[in-house]
A and B are shown apart, each in its own frame.
Chain A
């Protein structure tokens, strides 16, 4: 499954014994990160309509077996150009804050400008959100399945 991205405010105090920053969050559903194996699929449904979707196909290790374009994207992301994007994991929770946020937004914008890939507009959406909160005490969490 594609990831879910959530943005929290970071509050140093706690409320009722648990971190108050976890109470309110912007949630972005279905963020496909193709270098992790979220591959676009096209099929035909029972009514003969063309259905486009995103299939999580990443095997353990995160190597994407589908298509040269996705291999190229995977190599690009993990090839040393980017510092924060390769740290996003689809395995459980993955949290970023502080200076990582500005870098992550820049890297997402850069990736979308460099290469064309399906649903890149959703990655750009995430980048714009992060840019909106990067100067605030905020935490960005990706949740995989």
Chain B
């Protein structure tokens, strides 16, 4: 779960933030966040099915030096992870770390919008709007010509 904040953007963009953004490749979604075992441990109702088809495996968090948060992400059919935890098709989105603040700025912002637009058709109803809003923030910073997005793991 991440908090999204704008740093150094224009007056409009600086009014924007996203709370509790759930990232499917980190095992979270608005439909069924966290792995079933975590949900049971938290005392939440266990999901009947996993919302996104996924494969188990060892996919480390790129921000964690390869070993930290080893099980922090899952391989999704439409978000295939390499063994180093990155995804060649979505290099920016897969760089979002659950153990460190991830920053997107400058030339990365149009690429981030493009990657989000490609994952939107795969997302659950509850996840789609927050990611569209993340794309909106990136578009605003592109319009402003300055500023950055900070993804802060919660």
Contact = CB atoms under 8 A, between A and B. Distances in A.
B16 A30 contact: no
A21 B30 contact: yes
Interface residues of B, number: 33
Contact of B130 (A14, A24, A30): A24
B93 to A, nearest CB: 16
B125 A137 contact: yes
B37 interface: no
B68 interface: no
A23 B129 contact: no
Contact of B31 (A8, A13, A29): A13
Contacts of B30: 9, 11, 15, 20-21, 23-24
Interface in B31-73: 31-33, 39, 42, 44-45
Nearest to B131: A9
Contacts of A121: 11-12
Interface in A63-122: 121-122
Main secondary structure of the interface of A (DSSP, over half): mixed
A11 to B, nearest CB: 3
A7 interface: yes
A60 interface: no
B26 to A, nearest CB: 13
Contact of B128 (A27, A30, A136): A136
A29 B95 CA distance: 28
A48 interface: no
Contacts of A137: 125-126, 128-129
A12 B132 contact: no
B100 interface: no
A14 B29 CA distance: 11
B125 A12 contact: yes
Nearest to B34: A15
B136 A30 contact: no
B124 A11 contact: yes
A9 B45 contact: no
Nearest to B137: A26
B142 to A, nearest CB: 13
B99 interface: no
Interface of A: 7-17, 20-21, 23-30, 121-122, 125, 128-129, 132-133, 136-139
